[in-house]
Amino acid sequence: MSDYVFRIGQTVDYTRPSRFIDAAPGPYEVVQRMPREGSEYRYRIKSLVEAHVRVANESDLSADSCPNTATLLSS
């Protein structure tokens, strides 16, 4: 059984650590689950407005507060 909180394709909110102040605001899509680093899982996430993929700790993510953004991200 998986202990991951988020699934691939899920839209999430990303709380940017202060060292990544330049990260795009808005929703992100989970594109890959990664192994644990220390005591928490990590994910590859993709913003609608950035060309690149970011790696985020599970503690930096939360379920997206806007349910319609999944449709925007998959377009």
Could you give all domains of the chain from N- to C-terminal order, each with its CATH number?
11-74 (2.30.30)
> What is the average per-residue pLDDT within 32-57?
92
pLDDT at 61 over 60: yes
Lowest mean pLDDT among 3-7, 9-13, 20-24, 58-62: 20-24
Q: DSSP string spanning 18-70?
A: GGGTTSPPSEEEEEEEEEEETTEEEEEEEESS-SSEEEEEGGGEEE-S-TTHH
On average, the pLDDT of the chain sits at 82
pTM: 0.77
